[in-house]
Structure formats: structure tokens, C-alpha cells
Amino acid sequence: MHITEIILKKRNGKALGRGEIDYFIDGYCRGDIADYQASALLMAIWFNKMDRRETTDLTLAMRDSGDVIDLSGISGIKVDKHSTGGVADTTSLVTIPLVAACGGRVAKMSGRGLGHTGGTLDKLESIPGLSVSQGMADFHRIVSDCGWSIIGQTADLVPADKKLYALRSVTGTVDNNSLIAASIMSKKLASGADAIVLDVKTGNGAFIQHATDAEELAKLMVDIGEETGRRTIALISDMSQPLGNAVGNALEVREAIEILQGKHEGDLKTVALALAAEMLGVSGLVADTAEAHEKLTAALTSGVALQRLADMIQLQGGDPDVCRNTGILPQAGDVMEITSDTDGYVHSMMTDEIGNCALLLGAGRLAKDDPIDPAVGLWMRVRLGDRVSAGDVLADFHVNQRKNLAEATSRFKKAVGIGPEPGTSPDLIHGRVTGGD
């Protein structure tokens, strides 16, 4: 077997066998296959696609390229959640404490943000003292004690994905559903959960902008999960405007806490509750959606979910008082109101561009090692369809450095479309995909 033969086979539109896929992943991870050869195969896959069997085989080969976490020492069914990424998507910090408050077990390994989408680890690290670097024994203990934990991925978790994603990002091969599915599901399978709930985003703030592509990806990932013995479901949710109000790390933590305090309604809370209901369902803790929402409402109104958040923060070295006083979170030196120049209705938002505005203020990173400022970002004051007058506040910019402020302001005003007619908000949940769909 030789990599050139494998490249030619895929270039000619033929399906690769499991042995060929294993040979490629193993050889590339060991350095026996060069980047230029891997790039050629990735491009052949991009053009000729992979069928479901090939995609599953690629997922398993990537999973087995490093450590596979054993969570059997934690009692109960362990459920994981994954979002394909968006703007103001803080669902994990609302959803997972709610699930834990209802008896669920969530042992989650997460990644950092890159580009216009925020990373859960970056958000958590804006909480004073909290560490996302926990050993496996401590990780198990924290989940057993309070029902959940989120930590950074170990260095040896799916090393094939780290190498392949870096290559895909510079060879124009990111947007292929088989490669996306294998990247996501290899990490989910290696993380050891018994059940998986996926939040597949679609819209102009998502990596997958067309609903049909998002549905295809959701079905592919659900099938992989089910074929490997994990109860898996996916929701397809909308990202045609920021999901929450806050875009920026400490700001998003503040919004999540305030939702758990009962201070906010809106799309972020709605999607978080929908995901939490699915997580309870795949964990076998409820008979149906109605029972799930009854339990989740009780956990929210009683304050138990907020306490679960405080418990996790304390167990991971952070200050749990942040759940009573969000003023403990990092604060920007200045808050600037960005106002409308015209009268009209908010008819559209360039959601990815709004995320880029927060990035310009210092809330995100373009390269994986870029520093971020946890205090900065923006807080949206309008939603699609809102009536505004000239001078009304569209957003508050939380600012420390003014280097990119003028550019961020200009780009934000262009990103929020205001016209004579109100726009229509798409359905928040586009669909639900289960095994066999």
C-alpha cells in the first residue's frame, strides 16, 4: 500500500477502504506521509466526497490516533454537547448546569475560540481563579461531586484532527461535510460520553450557512454516533443574528449567570432549554419533552441550576461569588454607546461581522496563540424586527484599547441593516435529527 495509490483512487472517485484510511491517518500522524501528499488527498476528498461508511471509518481512525477517555468511573449515563459555533452562543454555560441540576452527568472537553466564534474555555477562564486544566482524576471527581465539568482537551486527544485541521485551514478544504463530521465526532467519541447532543448552527453567523447543508451534516454526525453505540440527536438552530446579547468572554459569562438568575428571556435561553431537554432525554432521565421542561423549569426557578454553576466554579478553583455578583468579572475601562444614524426597522444582521467587531476590540483571536482580553466585547441592544430611531442605542461596546475602535464601529453599523420595513426572524429551531431520519 502506498499513499500515491490512495490519492489516485480517491481522485478517480472511488471509495477508500478502512485499511487505506487507517494507513493514511497512521502514516500522517507518524510523519511518514508529507503535508503535500495529505493535502492532495484532502482535495480529492473535497471534490469527490466520501460516503457514510468512509466517513465513519475516517472518524474512527482519527479517534484512535490518540487517547480515548474512559468515563466508566463516573456513575450514570454521561452526556456530551457540541455546538458547531456561532456568535453570542453561550448555551453550554446555561444548558449544562441545568442538566446537572436535574441529575445529569456532563463530562465535557472543550476547545478555544478562533475567528468570530467564541470558545467555551476562554469564557470560563474569565472567571477569577477558574482553571480548565484538570487532571483526569480531578475531572472525574468534579463531575461526580457536582454533576458536570468542562476542561481543555488533553494534548493526546485526537492528534490526527489537530494536524489535519491545520492543513485544511490553509488548503481550502474546511467546508466538506465528511471532513467536518469526522473532526467533530472523532473528538466526541474520544471524550468518552455515552450520549451526544449536537447543536448544528445555520445562517450568516455560522460556518455552515445553508440550512440544507446543516441538515446533511447533522444527519451524518447522528448516524456516526448511533453506529458507534452512542445515543445521538441533533438540533439545527438559527444563527441569523447573535443568539444572545453578549459577545465577549466575561460579558457572555455574565449573561449566562443572569439567565440562571431568572433575569433574562430570549433566544439564548430558549435554545439552551431545548438542548438541555434533549440531554435529559438521551440520558434516560425523562420520559418526554414535557417532563424535561417541567424539571428544567423547577431547576431554574429554585436556583439549583445556578448553585450547580457555583459548585463547578469552586471545584475548579474559581470564585463562586461571581454567581451572586457578576461585578467580580473583568470589567472594561470604558463602555461606549453605538447609536443608529437613521429611523427604521432592523431588517438584517451580518452576524459573522458582528463577531468580527468583538474580535477587533480584543475579545477573540485570529491565530490560536493570540492573546485575548476577557473584559472587552459588545452587548447587543436590538434584535431583528425592532423599530429604532436615529440616536437609539444599537449596542454597547466594552472597550480597553481604542486601536481598532473606529474600524469596529464602522463595520458594526454596516452589519446592522436598518430600513423602512421590518425583517422577519427565521425559525429559531430549524429541525431535529435522530437516528434513522
- Listing DSSP states for 260-299 in one string gives HTT---SHHHHHHHHHHHHHHHHTT--SSHHHHHHHHHHH
Q: At what angle do helices 92-101 and 267-282 cross, to 10 degrees?
A: 40
Is residue 2 part of the annotated active site? The answer reads: no
d(CA 368, CA 365): 7
Instruction: Indicate if 89 belongs to the active site.
Output: no
Residue 315 CA to residue 307 CA, distance in Å, equals 12
Catalytic-role residue among 161, 194, 311, 352:
161
Q: Please state, in angstroms and rounded to a whole number, the distance separating the CA atoms of residues 21 and 3.
A: 10
129: left (phi over 0), alpha (psi -120 to 50) or beta: left
230 in catalytic set: no
Confirm whether 187 is a catalytic residue.
Answer: yes
Q: Report the candidate in 58, 126, 182, 165 with the shortest Cα–Cα distance to residue 331.
A: 126
Say which residue the cell 490560536 belongs to.
Answer: 368
From CA 264, how far away is CA 93, in angstroms rounded? 14
Residue indicated by cell numbers 481604542: 402
Annotated active-site residue in 108, 116, 123, 187? 187
Active-site entry in 168, 219, 269, 295: 168
Looking at 92, 110, 183, 283, which residue is catalytic? 183
116-137: string of b/e by CB count within 10 Å (b at 16+)? bbbbbbbbbbbbbebebebeee
Pairwise CA distance, residues 196 & 192, whole Å: 10
Catalytic residue IDs: 82, 161, 168, 183, 187
